[in-house]
Amino acid sequence: MDFFNNHKKLFSSALAFFLVLTLIICILPALDNKKINQPLPGSVALTESENNGKAVYIREGCVACHTQQVRNVDMDEVFGSRPSLAADYARNRRLNLFQNTATLMGTERTGPDLTSIGTRQPSKEWQYAHLYNPRSVVPESIMPSYKWLFLVKEDAAPGDVEVSVPAAFRTGIKGKIIPSKDAQDLVAYLLSLKQTDLPTSIKPGEFLYKKAKKPAAGASGSSLPDGGVLFTANCASCHQAGGEGLPGAFPPLKGSPVVLGENLELFVTIIMKGYNARPEFAEMPAVGTNAGLKPEEVAALINHERSSWGNTAEPVTAEQVKAIMDKIK
Ligand code: HEC
Ligand code: HEC
């Protein structure tokens, strides 16, 4: 047997072995993957601005701290309505022969998953203030600030949106803080991040290892869920934990005439449909509808806001709220 002594035979069989393995392990699965994973029918391609924003996201290294994958485990349920599928990433096309597209699924979750950030936090004003300095809206945040994505201008040109940054975070800055084109594109990209609804014929995967949910016991022993927890999850990012809001962007709920007033319909409508009544404040998105809040949850929120931070007003019932929610649907 001269196999091990014949370099031609040795080399050509190693090469053949290598090529066959490459075909089986890489090329065939890749082709198959491409064939069976098409973009979901409801998904939309990124616009030019969103695509630029994705490039900024890559350039600034956001993927170091943020994932874009909802795993099928219970703890990920807060990040999306269903576990992610391969089809969710099927719009990522190869850039050219040598460059693939980053999927940005990420591996580190120093910050929250961003798969559905466009649904969870659709407020542009919030996103700008947060990028400029995360601590201006989330006091305990450890995310770096991205000030270099903003310009300081003496006067805002037509079309410029001024970012409302509280005085404590703008020391030494004279003028208006305006998002650069990169910041605008980045925020457009963030707001485009939404989970696509599955076609009705496909059943979404389940979240595994579910923990037993705490029984819905309200703070005052009522049967409503905990309004404080709901407030932290849905409202505190803008109205702040102490209900004091953020001057020039988000109004205070402490002492608010809507919170303390008699017009429950207005209160419920603001929560479910959003609010844009005054130019001196940003626009409130349809927070309640986006989060799928139920009447008991809205009632618990209202009662929490009516009895916190020195506010005192009569509590409401889930039935009262449900009647209004049915009416304004
Ligand atoms: C060093 C880690 C780190 C980096 C880098 C980072 N972030 Fe964050 N991010 C965080 C942390 C921690 C939070 C949670 C606290 C907060 O909301 O600020 C967060 C929160 C967020 C949120 C709000 C998420 C939510 O569910 O409310 C968004 C949006 C966001 N980051 C976008 C970005 C973008 C865009 C970049 C890149 C320009 C980036 N982050 C870079 C750590 C990071
Ligand atoms: C993305 C930021 C944001 C989030 C999250 C948010 N709000 Fe608002 N909210 C606003 C803004 C901005 C306004 C003022 C809009 C205007 O007046 O034009 C507002 C106004 C209000 C008002 C009217 C206050 C007044 O005195 O006029 C109430 C009540 C309110 N929000 C309740 C809530 C509740 C309850 C939640 C949570 C379910 C919530 N908001 C979540 C941004 C937000």
Distance CA 185, CA 206 (A): 34
- Note the pLDDT of residue 215: 57
Q: Which residue has the higher pLDDT, 140 or 221?
A: 140
Q: To test ligand 1's pocket by mutation, which of 60, 65, 146, 191 has the most ligand atoms within 8 angstroms of CB?
A: 65
Q: What is the pLDDT of residues 48-93, one digit of tens each?
A: 999 999 999 999 999 999 999 999 999 999 999 999 998 899 898 8
* Residues within 6 Å of ligand 1 by CB: 57, 60-62, 64-66, 110-112, 114, 117, 120-121, 134, 138, 141-144, 146, 186, 190
Which atom of ligand 2 is least distant from the CA of 288? 38
Q: How far is CA 213 from the centre of its chain?
A: 23
- Please, which contacts does 30-36 make with residues 24 or more away whose CB atoms are closer than 8 Å? 33/86
Least confident of 74-83, 152-161, 172-181: 152-161
Number of Cβ within a 10 Å radius of residue 99: 8
pLDDT score recorded for residue 222: 64
Residue with tokens 């980053």: 102
Q: What mean pLDDT, rounded, does the chain reach? A: 92
The span from the first CA to the last CA of the chain, in angstroms, equals: 83
* Burial of residue 22, with CB atoms counted within 10 A of its CB: 0-12 exposed, 13-18 middle, 19 or more buried: exposed
pLDDT single digits (tens) 92-135: 888 888 888 888 999 999 999 999 999 999 999 999 999 999 99
Distance (Å) from CA 187 to ligand 2 centroid = 20
Residue nearest to atom 19 of ligand 1 (CA): 111
Give the closest residue to 67 by CA, choosing from 117, 1, 11, 139.
Answer: 117
Testing ligand 2's pocket by substitution, the residue of 130, 240, 250 carrying the most ligand atoms inside 8 A of its CB is: 250
| Region for 20 from its dihedrals, namely left if φ exceeds 0, alpha if ψ lies in -120 to 50, beta otherwise | alpha
Q: Which atom of ligand 2 is nearest to the CA of 123?
A: 1
